[in-house]
Structure 1
Amino acid sequence: MTQSSRLGLFEGYGVEMEYMIVDRDTLEVKPISDEVLKAEAGELTSDVERGTMAWSNELVLHVLELKTNGPASTLSTLIEQFHKEVLRVNQLLEPFNAMLLPTGAHPFMDPYKETKLWPHEASEIYEAYNRIFNCQGHGWSNLQSTHLNLPFSSDEEFGRLHAAIRLILPLIPAISAASPVLDGKVSGLLDTRLEVYRKNQQKIPLIAGQVVPEAVFSEAVYVAKIFQPMFKAIAPFDPEGDLQEEFLNSRGAIARFSRGAIEIRIIDNQECPLADISIVTLISEVLKKLVAQQWSSFEEQQKPDTSMLASVFLSSLKNGSKTEIQNTEYLRLLGLQQERATLKEVWQHLWAVVQKEEVFTPKITQTIEVILQEGSLSDRMLKILGQNPSLEEIKSVYRILATCLSENKLYQP
């Protein structure tokens, strides 16, 4: 794609959703994503195209990714499209007595015993990761996310979009946390997936940085400050150079200059496509306002310190919407004229500004209202689970979530 033919800001949306494959009766993971892809394509493959949608493999065999096949022009139509793909996959899984399970992490999988890496096409990349980092832990084999790819067509557009994304990244877990259980226990965090994600490559800390990306607003500076140090750090472990590519970057939002997009990676997979698309629509509309300098100028948006943003992000993994921002300058950039505010208050303020936009269909509006009033999926799950649920109680909640996925319905205990 030439630079001139690239989509500009908010002219398209790429969305990817990762789902676990589990046994229908026991909910244990089933490493058969290759069988699903084979059943649909008629041959062993890592990708299947289905018109405007596509499926592909992931690092581990019990995870399947469903995604838009190229950028979609609108988000709201994706609710039904993703649901249709879920139904098709579940149909193919029936002979295996298996089904798709949503949320950001499997609640009782033992990654040290049950991880099976993708052994087919492009497996040398996965093998390189495994050799360097040992992909046996939760931080590799048990983290399912929803990715939002937003395009830019020039260096200036990249800078504006990156500045806006840095500001909103720490706020996202408050509405998208969906991984309160790990190893068969309530973890004490609302977003356990992001906690294990941020630590999975600590051997080479430059790969994920502070998850909130550094204050860089042009391709040249991004390459110099993010890519080059990271490639240099991994080179001794990666003599073949298999991993010295854009995809190595594990920040919460990563620049994909090769395709002219920034990919936001910190959204936990939700209970159904309706919830996922509602969240990405809200995020996109708030980013539009920031890029349009509704509350603050581009120059002001470049100033926040990465460590300050990262501290809000870290707090949000545990405290979700109760996390308090005490930085008045940060709040002012988001249009709040007060000294402190919880993330719940911040989102309510942002929602009040954007909710009139026509992209918010009645269904999406209703979904966002539920999330803002009743909390993230983690908050809603914990209302039923409490702090010390039995394995059977955990399974009963996740069975309901599997039904929510197949029926494309919100989880409202």
Structure 2
Amino acid sequence: MNKKYHLFDVYGIELEYMLVHQSDLKIAPIVDTLLTKKNGKLTSDITNGKIAWSNELVAHVVELKTNGPTKNINGLAELFHKNITEINTLLNPLQTKLLPTAAHPFMNPRTDTQLWKHSYSEVYELYNRIFDCKNHGWSNVQSVHINLPFFDDKEFEKLHAAIRIILPLIPGLSASSPILEGKITGFKDTRLEYYKTNQKEIPEMAGLVIPERVFTKLDYYATIFEPIKKAIKPFDTHNILDHHFLNSRGAIARFDRNAIEIRLVDIQECPKADIAICALIIEVLKLLVNKKLSPLAIQKRWVKEDLFLILDDAIKNAETSVVNNLDYLNMFDIEHSTNIQNIWKHLYALAKPNIHKSHYPAIETILNEGTLATRIEKTIGKDCSNENIKKVYTNLAECLQNNSLFSK
């Protein structure tokens, strides 16, 4: 977003998917082959009309994103889906296909991880040297990123305040990673459980996941970017890492394009669900930014530690996580302890008039039947055999191909 936009003028959405073998669903590190097939020669970014494709840190993950800022998210589910079916058509002769959800259910990162070996690879190699990327927190994570613009410090203040408030509730809407290495982990959002600690070698990078109380560009640099730069210096001897990318909080300010990127959303079973979640989050943020829920001064008061406590429980329990902090609940006009599912139902009722009706079925499936993680767990039941997990995830791959919701 090089041109500056005002709050909610435009949006940028990014979706990440795994490439897997059709027969056994094992990961297929051939994104370079896919991009070469599409483009005629290897390139790390491909423009395909309104959607762009690109590689990621690991060789089995492809990212689809809006090609620049878009004014309207309502047609995006169909646009993304069109690109997904095109990719699956290209992959079919290679006996490979795309797989959704935020974590592969039986990947072994120690043996299965292959880093991207082409453009930008020196950055990935450096990351690998510092953090050892052959673990779930780096090589087995697929998410949705929501990019929202701000024009100046005044708009940044409102947007950052609102986003910080909403971050703890996101796993209760989007958790989709309940299984790792063939076992139910006990965390509905295992991706975020790893996200908390995957950069423990340099804790300045992710902080407490919830960003600090900073509401101007100057403060952000002093409080977040400068400590990151200082901490990375001994490792980044050739100065190749950018502080914008090193900041790994759950929402990061991109002053290079005047946007904040929300990173806590797990990818779902199909774009219809992803875009519906984005639409709901965006409309609730608008309510917060426009002070329809609580004054800016109250939103800004929240320290990261208190918000993290709510997030941390949501990572484990998703929509069934109970929030007892009445000061937090009062911001949404809720007067008693309740679970995150009920908080989202309440927020959805408030935001619904501003959400396009095409998103209602997906949102209501999630709010009534539970997060995708919950639906996956229920479907698997007590049978965690490889065969049963494979059956469920084959079904999820079909949901992706058909742009249909996964229902228990």
- Fold shared per TM-score above 0.5: yes
Question: Secondary structure in 1 aligned to 2:196?
Answer: helix
CA shift at 1:333, angstroms? 1.5
- Take 2:243 and 2:44, find their aligned partners in 1: how far apart are those partners? 20
Aligned position for 1:151 = 149
Contact 1:186–1:387 (Cα < 8 Å) also in 2: no
| 1:404/1:410 contact within 8 Å kept | yes
Counterpart AA for 2:345: Q
Change (3 A) 1:254 1:92: same
Question: Alpha-carbon deviations, 1:174-225, whole Å to 9, x = none?
Answer: 0100001001111111000111112111011110011111111111000000
The AA in structure 2 aligned to 1:360 is H
Cα deviations across residues 49-78 of structure 1 (Å, max 9, x unaligned)?
011110000000000000100011111110
Q: What is the deviation of 1:321? A: 1.2
Check whether the contact 2:73–2:275 (CA below 8 A) recurs between aligned residues. yes
Query: How far 1:134 sits from its partner (Å)?
Result: 1.0
Q: Quick one: structure 1 residues 244 and 69, their matched pair in 2 at CA, closer, same or farther if it must change by over 3 Å?
A: closer
What residue identity is the alignment partner of 2:36? Answer: K
The farther-off stretch of 55-64 and 338-347 is 338-347
Aligned to 1:351: 348
**Equivalent pair of 2:176/2:266 in contact (CA under 8 Å):** yes
Match of 1:165 among 160, 163, 167: 163
Which runs of no fewer than 5 residues in structure 2 stay unpaired?
none
Secondary structure at the counterpart of residue 154 of structure 2: helix
Equivalent AA in structure 2 for residue 400 of structure 1: N
The match for 1:6 is 4
Counterpart amino acid of residue 314 in structure 2:
S
1:245: how far off? 2.2
Q: 1:360 aligns with which of 353, 356, 376?
A: 356
Counterpart secondary structure, 1:38: helix
**TM-score normalised by the chain length of structure 1:** 0.97
Classify the secondary structure of the residue corresponding to 2:401.
Answer: helix
Letter in 2 for 1:134: D
Q: Distance in 2 between matches of 1:244 and 1:146?
A: 21
- Aligned partner (choices 387, 396, 400) of residue 401 of structure 1: 396
Pick which of 324-333 and 398-407 moved more.
324-333
**Normalising to structure 2: TM-score of the pair?**
0.98
- Find the counterpart in structure 1 of residue 372 from structure 2: 377
Contact 2:269/2:399 (8 A) holds in 1: yes
Corresponding residue SS for 1:149: strand
TM-superposed deviation, 1:319: 1.0
1:223 counterpart (221, 224, 233): 221
Within 5 Å, give how 1:282-297 maps onto structure 2: 282-297=280-295
Q: Is the 8 A contact 1:53 1:69 kept in 2?
A: yes
Q: Distance between the aligned counterparts of 1:134 and 1:9, measured in 2?
A: 38
CA distance in 2, matches of 1:182, 1:410: 22
* Residue 335 (structure 1) shift: 2.4
CA shift, 1:244, in A, is: 4.0
How big is the shift at 1:360? 2.1
- Residue 179 (structure 2) aligned to one of 181, 189, 205: 181
Shift of 1:287: 0.1
1:31 aligns with 2:26: no
Aligned partner of 1:81 in structure 2 is 79
Q: Equivalent of 2:279, from 274, 278, 281?
A: 281
Q: Are residues 1:93 and 2:80 paired?
A: no
1:411 paired with 2:406, answer yes
Misfit runs of 4+, over 3 Å: none
Q: Please give the alpha-carbon distance, in whole angstroms, between the structure 2 residues aligned to 1:246 and 1:35.
A: 29
Question: 1:7-406 counterparts in 2 under 5 A?
Answer: 7-336=5-334, 338-357=335-354, 359-361=355-357, 363-406=358-401
**Would the aligned equivalents of 2:228 and 2:243 in 1 still touch at CA under 8 Å?**
no
Change (3 A) 1:30 1:205: same
Where do 5+ consecutive residues of structure 1 fail to align? none
